[in-house]
Amino acid sequence: MSMSLGGGGSSDVPGAEINVTPLADVMLVLLIIFMITAPLMSHKIKVNLPDANPHTKPVAVDVPPIDLALEADGTIYWNDSEVDDAIFRARLGVAAGSNPQPALNIRADKTTPYRIIWKVMQEAKSAGMVHVGFITHGSGKGSGPGGGG
């Protein structure tokens, strides 16, 4: 191992050179370790993968959504039939457990307090409903009977 002292040898300040020999030794040892362990990392487990066929289309199951109407007094209509709280919770549980799960579309009157809507949403969430949406009446031009020009 030698050390360079800079130019000419008359200076007492050592030169700044990096000795890369230990770094090369460490890298070679790591390379040998990875070369030995890499073949051991491959697994010999047989897995039957599905075939991708672009000519076949998946079978779509069309599930009609649930139409839930709420009035200002807290009355709940499940697909246009009035239900009480117990029947509502039971039907929510059945709908949440079905596969595929239908969407829950909530229609509320303008005068319905938000606490009623929030209560229905919390019951749907606790039952396990994932797809919850809201139905509104459009207020733009041309929406609804007699709208637009």
For residue 105, the domain's CATH number is 3.30.420.270
What lies within 8 Å, CB to CB, of 83 at 6+ separation is 76, 77, 91
Cα–Cα distance, 91 to 53 (Å, whole number): 39
How would residue 42 be classed by pLDDT, with cut points 50, 70 and 90? confident
- Domain membership of residue 108 (yes or no) is yes
**Does residue 141 have a pLDDT over 60?**
no
Q: CA-to-CA distance for 74 and 108, rounded, in angstroms?
A: 10
Q: Residue 7: its pLDDT value, please?
A: 55
Structure token pair of residue 76: 């709940």
Helix (H) / strand (E) element for 132: namely strand 132-135
For residue 38, pLDDT over 90 is answered with no
Q: Find the mean pLDDT for residues 97-113.
A: 89
Segments forming the whole domain that contains residue 106? 66-135
Q: How much is the average pLDDT of 47-72?
A: 81
Count the alpha carbons within 13 Å of 67 in the hemisphere toward its beta carbon.
Answer: 7
Cβ count near 104 (within 10 Å): 23
Q: What is the pLDDT of residue 15?
A: 75
The total domain count for the chain is 1
Rounded mean pLDDT, 49-71: 82
What does the pLDDT read at residue 37? 86
> Is 131 inside any structural domain?
yes
Mean pLDDT of 37-51: 76
* 84 in any annotated domain: yes
Q: Is 91 within the bounds of a domain?
A: yes
Residue 104 lies inside a defined structural domain of this protein: yes
Task: Give a yes or no: residue 143 inside a domain.
Answer: no
For residue 36, the SS3 value is helix
Instruction: Report yes or no on 109 lying in a domain.
Output: yes
Q: Evaluate if residue 25 carries a pLDDT over 70.
A: yes
Residue 38, in any domain of the structure: no
Task: Say whether pLDDT at 6 is over 70.
Answer: no
